[in-house]
Structure 1
Amino acid sequence: MNRINPDKLLQSKWTAVTPQQRERHFIVTKVIRDDQDEHVVEVVLQAVLTRKDYPLAWRELKDDSVWQMGWK
């Protein structure tokens, strides 16, 4: 399981273990917080190859069978 500090997610780099449509490398471009701006709710990942944005619950990045930290 990946250890993640939610305050340091912005601009972090991620690699999809199983790429979809040749999209393997991603950057966190946006961090969405709750109404009180206390807790991170979700992030927006942008595919480096296609520049498509994908919203994702930030805790899903902890699953190391799906995501790896950094670009591999």
Structure 2
Amino acid sequence: MTASKPPRLNPRKLLLSKWTAVAPRRKEKHFIVSEVLWPDDPAAPLELIELEAVHSRRRQRLPWRALLDTDTWRQGWH
């Protein structure tokens, strides 16, 4: 089996993007990027986003690059 190629992501286009958890927990499978947490310093790179579970509305913050892990996340709703 070949490894999935990580999605190409533009941090400026992450807001409201849809994601599917490969191994859902607590019935939370589908997520949407509800907030992009830009740093106060415009020269600093983006580090964090906030994901919201569609089912429970629970929010979690994580590094935006975590979405590149194809063992954990798939782009879009599947």
Do the structures match in fold with TM over 0.5?
yes
Once the two structures are superposed, residues 29-65 of structure 1 have per-residue CA deviations (whole angstroms, 9 ceiling, x without a partner) of 0001122134211100000000000101000000111
Which residue of the partner structure matches residue 26 of structure 1? 31
Which residue of the partner structure matches residue 70 of structure 1? 76
Structure 2 gaps of 5+ residues are 1-5
Give aligned-pair identity as a percent.
44
Which residue of the partner structure matches residue 50 of structure 1? 56
Higher percent of residues as strand: 1
- Structure 1 residue 17 and structure 2 residue 18: aligned? no
Root mean square deviation, CA, Å: 1.0
TM-score (ref. length: structure 1) = 0.94
Count residues with an aligned counterpart: 72
CA radius of gyration, larger in: 2
Structure 1 gaps of 5+ residues are none
Which residue of the partner structure matches residue 46 of structure 2? 40
